[in-house]
Chain A
Amino acid sequence: MRLKAQMAATDQAGSLVAEAPGPRPRSAWRTRLTKLDSKASPYLYISPFFLLFAGFGLFPLAYTAWISLHSVSLQNVDDRTWVGLDNYSRLIHDDQFWNAVLNTLTIGLISTVPQLLIALGLAHLLHCKLRGSTFFRVSMLMPYATSVAAATIVFAMLFGRDFGLINWFLGLFGVDNIDWENGKWSSQIAISTIVTWRWTGYNALIYLAAMQAIPKDLYEAAEVDGASRWQQLRHVTIPGIKPTIVFTVIISTIGATQLFGEPLLFGGAGGYRGGADHQYQTLGLLLYEQGWFNFQLGRAAATAWTMFLIIMLAVAVNALLAARGRSVFAVGRRRRPV
């Protein structure tokens, strides 16, 4: 896997760091201290994070795994009955589960692919010298800064069946009122719109930060070769930020697989069901429904760990695709950094 190769390369470079010999002879004590420093310091560096993780991340995870093998309700958390893998097999046979898997996949695709493409385009535009560039950059983050509650109220009103703005707008072109929430595709498109709205600016800024790190000489060389801006985008920018693109694809995939807040709030009071027919219930919502409405923690935990497996799979596939460049960004020769 490409990721592993990358990490191996890093390790090699790191080994150079750790073992570079000094040109002057040093005292033995100093050498030992240096050795200790370089051997121990990495662990010191990562220890704050891992200490916190051990406390607040590991325990809940382990607990969840343990719970998933029991039948237990939220009302009486200590009253557990061992059921082994029963929760998991029930899940596999549950139509609602597969429905949620499919929904998660479709919503994931509709929300991430356009989003990342738009983010890339926006980052490219922002990469220019602009008047008021600060204003544009800051305003792109506004969706991310808008509270979920406010955003949801607004979008629910936009997508309302009888009184929504979008239906009113479409009505100007003679289109009948669309019942956004109750259709399978319409609800998923609506939710994807909310997700895209919220996260595009965020990803655009990440791309922008990465674009700033591309050496200018590459662009100059491309200019000299007569490349247009579009060609520069394809042949210089995108390969230059390839690791970042892989990174955002992975993060977006993980986020899309866990999608929870937007569909929940889109549905209002009954949102946890993902619609009357579970038409937009994602895995995250299914998990929430099982644990918090049916109060069946054991089964919810089993769903959570099954999601984990699915996410791992999805990320692996996606990372492979993105890294191999089989995605839309298939590019030609890669320019060597000077």
Chain B
Amino acid sequence: MPSPRRLFRLLPSVLVLLATVALLLVGCGGDGEEAADASGGATTGGGSESAEPVTLSVGLFGTFGYEEAGLYDEYMELNPHVTIEETSIEFEQDYYQALQTHLAGGAGLSDIQGIEVARIAEVTQTQADKWVDLNEFGAEDLADTFFPWKWEAGRTADGATLGLGTDTGPQAICYRTDLFEQAGLPTDRDELSALWEDWDDFIESGKQYMANAPANSAFIDSASGLYNAIIGQSEMQYYDEEGEPIYDSNPVVKDAYDIAVEAIQANLTAKLEQFDQAWNQAFANGAFATIACPAWMIGYIKGQAGDAGAGKWDVASIPGDGGNWGGSYLAIPAASENHEEAYKLIQWLTAPEQQIKMWTNGQHFPSSSVAAADGSVAAATDDYFSGAPIGEIFKESADDLPIAHLGPKDGVVKDTISQALNRVDQQGEDPQASWDQAMEEIANAIE
């Protein structure tokens, strides 16, 4: 008869056995469900409020800002049977990978997923079957409330609508008035806007700045930021209307690259990589005087530079024609169990009234033309940025937005060329060699 001590020795093994059995039972019994009772496929037209409680999961990246603006709370008040849970991942690349992996397995998806503009073409062109066609719920009626180019990018070739636009990124230049003053440059925004007709003028200003620059300060944060701003201004970027990659033959791309290289060679950049930790720190340390500023960068600057930076920044028009950088869509994966409720939520979130709120709350510039035309948007100013009329500045930029032709691998091309510029900027590589390497890498990656 085994003694108690012996039995005690047996304990761990027994525990494990029990645990394993328990887990197996739970595993085989349950199924991976996280939403509460869901009214699955009720497609009765809008209006009928389902009284069954529903939990909607929202998967986003970066800073959509809905939580901060209190929109979820507002919606939940209006619709008491709905509970909203948001998950946000910092880097869009990490987010997108997880999204694709989950799509591959058909599980682990949220009811609503955000999609960045650099990825939307890939989704509409290659994955239409995995996403809900929002036209089923009457999305076509919303077409007029959005900027045409924004609306078009969210549709497939067959006319299905996969995503509703959230915000856009019309561009401007944000600059440090105190640093400009120290370097002897004009600080008035209208003066600068007039001065910077095109990018050559901008570079000239840069050289003037560097001639008298305050210590440890460069004119612009990074070469790749400059490059992205220029690319965002043209209609033909990396793909043409037929969807063929033209990144290597499109003169616009090479020209933008060359301008950025010029900035590097004139020593205008702070040699930073955007969204890096060092770049984050640089805001607070005055390492650069200007930065290409899509509307969403405003909130970023405030957050990074903190209270110490209030009143030291200002906003001027961007050289060249407007341009867009960034912006996203909200879409519903087919695997979601709450198509109708999810649609109602995204329709509400992207409706003009809410887009106006997102602007006043966090400077997310509307993708809705109706919202953009609203007085409160156009009249917005910002004290942090020395009272700049940001509403006006960004609206002007948005009106100039071209209908850019997007392609599935825009993100890859953009990242590779940005890295090519980093090589020139931070590692001193020869610009032509770096360009050639980038072309090779892109060809390798997308074919």
Contacts and interface: CB of A to CB of B under 8 A. Distances in A.
Given A276-B426, A277-B423, A161 B126 contact: no
A269 B94 CA distance: 9
Nearest to A296: B445
B427 A161 contact: no
Contacts, number: 72
Nearest to B92: A269
B91 A96 contact: no
The interface centre, meaning the residue of A163, A179, A276 with most chain B CB atoms within 10 A of its CB, is A276
B412 interface: yes
Interface of A: 73-77, 94, 96, 153, 156-157, 160-163, 179, 182-183, 268-270, 272-273, 276-277, 292-296
A87 to B, nearest CB: 12
Given A77-B104, A157-B277, A269-B276, A276 B97 contact: no
Contacts of A162: 278, 281-282, 285, 287
A179 B276 CA distance: 14
Contacts of A295: 100
A276 B100 contact: no
Top 5 nearest A-B pairs (CB, nearest first) are A276-B422, A294-B445, A292-B97, A77-B104, A276-B423
Contact of B429 (A73, A157, A163, A277): A277
A283 B144 CA distance: 49
Contact of B281 (A75, A163, A273): A163
Contact of B104 (A74, A160, A273): A74
B99 to A, nearest CB: 10
B278 A293 contact: no
The interface centre, meaning the residue of B273, B412, B446 with most chain A CB atoms within 10 A of its CB, is B273
Contacts of A74: 97, 100-101, 104
Contacts of A179: 426
A269 B278 contact: no
Contact of B277 (A73, A75, A156, A294): A156
B423 A269 contact: no
Interface of B: 91, 93, 97, 100-101, 103-104, 122, 126-127, 273-278, 281-282, 285, 287, 412, 415, 419-420, 422-423, 426-427, 429, 441, 444-446
25 contacts: A74-B100, A75-B100, A75-B103, A75-B122, A75-B126, A156-B277, A160-B281, A162-B285, A162-B287, A163-B281, A163-B285, A182-B426, A182-B427, A183-B427, A268-B273, A268-B276, A269-B275, A276-B420, A276-B426, A276-B427, A277-B423, A293-B97, A293-B415, A295-B100, A296-B445
A125 B185 CA distance: 64
A303 to B, nearest CB: 13
A86 to B, nearest CB: 12
A260 B274 CA distance: 23
B100 A273 contact: no
A157 B91 CA distance: 19
A179 to B, nearest CB: 7
Contacts of B100: 74-75, 295
Nearest to A161: B278
A293 B429 contact: no
A268 B420 CA distance: 17
A318 B398 CA distance: 62
B93 A75 contact: no
A28 B125 CA distance: 74
Contacts of A272: 93
Contacts of A153: 277
Given A74-B101, A179-B426, A270 B273 contact: yes
Nearest to A90: B444
Contacts of A293: 93, 97, 412, 415, 445
Contacts of A77: 104
Contacts of A270: 273, 276, 415, 419
